[in-house]
Amino acid sequence: MSYNEQLNTSKRVLMGPGPSDVHPRVLQAMSTPLIGHLDPEFVQIMDEVKLMVQHTFQTVNYLTFVVSAPGSAGMETCLVNLLEPGDEAVICIHGVFGGRMADIAERCGATVHRIEAPWGEPIDPVQVKKVLENCDPKLVAIVHAETSTGVLQPLDEIGKITKDAGALFVVDAVTSYCGVPVKVDEWGIDAIYSGTQKCLSAPPGLSPVSFSDRAVAAMDFRKTKVQSWFLDLSMIKNYWSGAKRAYHHTAPVSSIFALREAYRIVLEEGLENRFERHYRNHQLLKDELEPLGFEFIVQPKYRLPMLNAVKLPEGINEAEVRRKLLDDYNIEVGGGLGAFAGKIWRVGLMGESSSPNHVHMLSAALKKLI
């Protein structure tokens, strides 16, 4: 492919850890003619998107909006606004992305207390309670769906323990959002972030976030400026909320158009129906892969239905077969990260990519390759 030729990429079947396949309606919305980022019509679209973010996060939080950057920026938005030098933070780590949260918290000048679980296992609430009895953190942060390991972390008990300790509860829902229940208000979550490219099935590049009144109060009583100008919510909130919108940055208008349509598709299906579909296709994948010799590495009660971490049959070169899937069948699956690099596959069944057809395509290809 040369830059002096029209762009023409391969048509892939996206079954990795993200992005997922996108509905044609979303791509069509993205091609809608541009309008200004302060145009009254665009402001109305922002309000509509905000309502849909609230609905899908199952929250009434006023400070709920979309960060104009991918999920990693959502992670940073939550932490840099809530932490400042001298604060303490408890970070739960059971994969790559908990480690990233700890790194960001330290860059904020916070003292970080790490709670770690073996890769492929969830964080034990007893550990959290024990650590909280011996420190006074401003927040506890945890990954709901650990994309690097395929673990679905139960949150309700840890949320209660965190609240009883007087700390804020921060949650990474990048992979879980719109694929399994995420109950912000019911679970006592004070700050949460996600991404658009996984179970929401929109293009990458945006991060839905939501903050409780407790989190907003903590931000209002900061002693120091937020270390990031671009992610400083004291300014961004005036662009997404209020009667008069204050310019902060030029929003990615076309991406917001696409996101609005992706939310419409989610809500047309219904959240409960969507959750059930993801679980049903996960079970189908299990039924197809296990007879071929694949082994799921996470215990059934903690498995993510949208991100399946599997060991390959003995003697199979994972990188070689993964490459052949891409080259010969246009099917993308993900390799392992961190401690699991070269040892597992991460098979995504997210959003538009969560269908029986995707499972059968992968299964049929693997029967030819292994």
Region for residue 316 given its phi and psi (left: phi exceeds 0; alpha: psi -120 to 50; beta: otherwise): beta
pLDDT at position 256 is: 98
Q: For the domain with range 24-266, which CATH number is right: 3.40.640.10, 3.40.1530.20, 3.40.50.300, 3.40.50.12280?
A: 3.40.640.10
Q: By percentage, how much of the chain surpasses pLDDT 70?
A: 99
What's the average model confidence in pLDDT over 202-227? 97
Helix (H) or strand (E) segment spanning residue 63: strand 63-67
Angle between helix axes 253-269 and 40-57 (nearest 10 degrees) is 40
What's the average model confidence in pLDDT over 23-36? 97
- 235-272: buried (b, 16+ CB within 10 Å) or exposed (e) per residue? ebbebbbeeebeebeebbbbbbbbbbbbbbbbeeeebe
pLDDT band at 1 (very low <50, low <70, confident <90, very high): low
Place of tokens 């076309």: 254
User: What is the reported pTM?
Assistant: 0.96
pLDDT (tens digit, 9 = 90+) per residue, 63-114? 999 999 999 999 999 999 999 999 999 999 999 999 999 999 999 999 999 9
Cα–Cα distance measured from residue 179 to residue 201, given in angstroms and rounded to the nearest whole number: 10
Q: Where are the domains of the chain?
A: 13-19+271-369, 24-266
* Encoded tokens for 234: 């004291």
Nearest to 169 by CA among 186, 181, 148: 186
What's the average model confidence in pLDDT over 201-213? 98
Q: For the domain with range 13-19+271-369, which CATH number is right: 1.10.10.10, 3.40.228.10, 3.30.70.3040, 3.90.1150.10?
A: 3.90.1150.10
pLDDT (tens digit, 9 = 90+) per residue, 281-340? 999 999 999 999 999 999 999 999 999 999 999 999 999 999 999 999 999 999 999 989
pLDDT (tens digit, 9 = 90+) per residue, 125-163? 999 999 999 999 999 999 999 999 999 999 999 999 999
pLDDT (tens digit, 9 = 90+) per residue, 236-288? 988 888 777 888 999 999 999 999 999 999 999 999 999 999 999 999 999 99
Cα–Cα distance measured from residue 253 to residue 340, given in angstroms and rounded to the nearest whole number: 38
